[in-house]
A = this chain, B = another copy of it.
Amino acid sequence: MSTVNRQVCLKSRPVGMVKESDFEFGEKALPEVPEGYVLVRTEMVSIDPAMRGWLNDVKSYVPPVQIGEVMRALGVGTVVQSKVDGIKEGDRVSSILGWQNYALVPAKMAEVVPEGVSNEAALSVLGMTGRTAYFGLLDIGEPKEGETVVVSGAAGAVGSMVGQIAKIKGCRAVGIAGGADKCSWLVDELGFDAAIDYKNENLRKRLKETCPDGVDVYFDNVGGEILDTVLTRINVGARIPFCGAIANYNATEPVPGPYNYASILVNRAKVQGFIVFDYVKRYGEAMRDMGQWVSEGKLKFKVDVVDGLENAPKALNMLFDGSNTGKLIVKVA
């Protein structure tokens, strides 16, 4: 075992897309492990759109990453030293590990990955992204059999789960994604009823075609013009789980809300924001259902793996230029 911890720390707050020069690569000695902590060797870290928000110096649901701090990231790794009852060396855990080779994790933040669950699954379908899709769609979206569920960022880690869960619940699932390949994957591999390539097709026209009965649930990952267009097609009583606004995360100017905001009133619709961490007491429910659906072959997932911690900043931009499909992961160890 190495005694050196390679770390990627925030050097300056990015303006627009992140640059490698916004981060600093450094090394630190491994820390002592206090009682109640485990030392984890990072194997993979999750790359999520929300991470771009953590880099801005604004009040949010978590404090921003401070200049000089290790970049915050979910990850999975192997316990190399444990001072926690019930977690032993060699166990795999998922937690907030950060962009570093070793992380010191307090007991209550360490979630042991069960035998038989791969690191990739623990970071995607059976991890935070899967739970985000599960609670956002089912708890906020409340889809009913026969309804139409539209999801944006549909070929992403969360969106691809949302559409499949919608199908499992007997809904019509329509995905909005950028590019013909992603759209084919959604329909041919994941069983979406339709997919709209917003980069090459007329979204308004295609929404009419693919949602002839209107939109009952719009799972919003992107905000921006796509949200505005979907708002013209929602039904009375529509539910809009507000999961993210990827279109705006790199904005350098104030971004207006949707021009069709009044559609929420006219259609007695509901827009509700949510953060997966609020559902921590119900994670078990998601794990049980999602695990079962995976084992039954009803829920498929794809990971897009980038090799090497040094490529993490570049990987983060992939979420915003649309170059990943499925769950984006950086392989560290």
Contact residues of A with B, CB < 8 Å? 59-61, 223, 236, 242-245, 248, 254-262, 264-275, 278
User: Given A256-B256, A270-B271, A271-B271, A265 and B278 touching (CB < 8 A)?
Assistant: no
Q: Which 4 A-B pairs have the closest CB atoms?
A: A257-B257, A256-B256, A257-B261, A265-B273
Known A243-B265, A244-B265, A269-B272; further 20 A-B contacts with Cβ < 8 A: A60-B266, A61-B267, A242-B265, A245-B261, A245-B265, A254-B259, A255-B259, A256-B256, A256-B257, A256-B259, A257-B258, A264-B271, A264-B272, A264-B273, A265-B275, A267-B273, A269-B273, A270-B270, A270-B272, A271-B271
Inter-subunit contact B257/A268 (CB<8 Å):
no
- Chain copies in the assembled complex: 2
Inter-subunit contact B255/A258 (CB<8 Å):
no
Inter-subunit contact B278/A273 (CB<8 Å):
no
Inter-subunit contact B259/A261 (CB<8 Å):
no
Inter-subunit contact A262/B274 (CB<8 Å):
no
| A–B pairs, 13, beta carbons within 8 Å | A61-B236, A61-B268, A223-B262, A242-B264, A244-B265, A256-B258, A256-B259, A257-B259, A258-B261, A264-B271, A264-B272, A264-B273, A268-B278
Query: Which residues from chain B contact A261 at a C-beta distance below 8 Å?
Result: 223, 245, 256-258, 261
Query: Which residues from chain B contact A259 at a C-beta distance below 8 Å?
Result: 254-257
A76 to chain B, nearest CB (A): 26
Candidate in A258, A262, A274 with the most chain B CB atoms within 10 angstroms: A262
Choose one: B243, B260, B268; the contact of A274 (CB below 8 Å): B268
A250 to chain B, nearest CB (A): 13
A50 to chain B, nearest CB (A): 10
Inter-subunit contact B264/A268 (CB<8 Å):
no
A63 to chain B, nearest CB (A): 12
- What is the CA–CA distance of A256 and B273 in the complex, to the nearest angstrom? 19
Identity of the chain B residue whose Cβ is nearest the Cβ of A239 in the assembled complex: B272
Identity of the chain B residue whose Cβ is nearest the Cβ of A259 in the assembled complex: B254
A75 to chain B, nearest CB (A): 24
Query: Which residues from chain B contact A271 at a C-beta distance below 8 Å?
Result: 264, 270-272
Inter-subunit contact A268/B262 (CB<8 Å):
no
Query: Which residues from chain B contact A223 at a C-beta distance below 8 Å?
Result: 261-262
Inter-subunit contact B262/A248 (CB<8 Å):
yes
Query: Which residues from chain B contact A273 at a C-beta distance below 8 Å?
Result: 264-270
Query: Which residues from chain B contact A243 at a C-beta distance below 8 Å?
Result: 265
Identity of the chain B residue whose Cβ is nearest the Cβ of A140 in the assembled complex: B270
Identity of the chain B residue whose Cβ is nearest the Cβ of A240 in the assembled complex: B271
Choose one: B236, B267, B272; the contact of A268 (CB below 8 Å): B272
Query: Which residues from chain B contact A275 at a C-beta distance below 8 Å?
Result: 265, 268
Query: Which residues from chain B contact A242 at a C-beta distance below 8 Å?
Result: 264-265
